[in-house]
Amino acid sequence: MLAHKSVTSPTNERTFISALLPFSAVANSMAVIRAERADARELCCLEANLNSLILDFGARQKVGGVNLNFFIVQQFPVLPPKVFRESALPGLSYAELIMPRVLELTFTAWDLEPFVRDLSYDGDPFPWDEERRHRLKCELDAVFTHLYHLDRPDLEWILDAPYPSASFPGLKRNELKQFGEYRTQRYVLHAYDQMARGQMPNLEGV
């Protein structure tokens, strides 16, 4: 199952946050998306799509208050499964770029073991490393920028629209305070440029 926050705001760091859940009972304040016809690979791509900055930018144009109702979620620009089978880099589909990153981001405890076994992964859960997780998320954001066929100026606007507009002011403000720079912006643009040159997005050491 996929779950998401049903109370949010366009002024938060992220407006839409989704998470994979093992089959379990949830309270009525937890909104659940059941993708019963999707296999594990398609679910991986959907989870990454729902958590991408590109989709979040669209989501915050739709949310006017604090309640994220289903009729709003149904308007989000979610990509169809077939696009993930398209070629991203020579010899690699978009799904093949997305799945290992989603696997590492989601499988941090044994609760999701059935899901990762369906992805043919038979190892242990991954350690929680904040820095590495941030790099993986930014690599995925670059992948989705290409999937949505956006160019670099589009991405620059989505990351940080010029005043008086604002894209992710909370995220930018918090990163400037913590790191002295808008780190997500630098990371995502760097990974986008790597893919534009036909290279694998890789932010290790950046």
**In-domain check, residue 74:** yes
pLDDT digits over 184-198, tens only? 999 999 999 999 999
Domain assignment present for residue 171? The answer is yes
Q: What's the confidence (pLDDT) of residue 136?
A: 98
- The pLDDT of residue 21 is 83
Residue 206 covered by a domain: no
The encoded tokens of residue 145 equal: 């920028």
**Is residue 205 included in any domain, yes or no?**
no
What's residue 10's pLDDT? 74
Whole-number Å distance between alpha carbons of 156 and 109: 35
Establish if 61 belongs to a structural domain: yes
Confidence (pLDDT) at 122: 95
Please give the tally of structural domains in the chain: 1
Is the residue at 178 inside a domain? yes
In a domain, 204, yes or no: no
Residue 152 pLDDT > 90: yes
Q: Which residue has the higher pLDDT, 29 or 119?
A: 119
pTM to 2 decimal places? 0.93
Question: What's the mean pLDDT when you consider all of the chain?
Answer: 91
Report whether pLDDT(140) > 80.
Answer: yes
Q: Which of 173, 195, 197 is nearest to 185 (CA)?
A: 173
Pairing of strands 31-33, 2-4: antiparallel
> Which residue is listed with tokens 């991203």?
88
Domain holding 175, by residue range, is 2-196
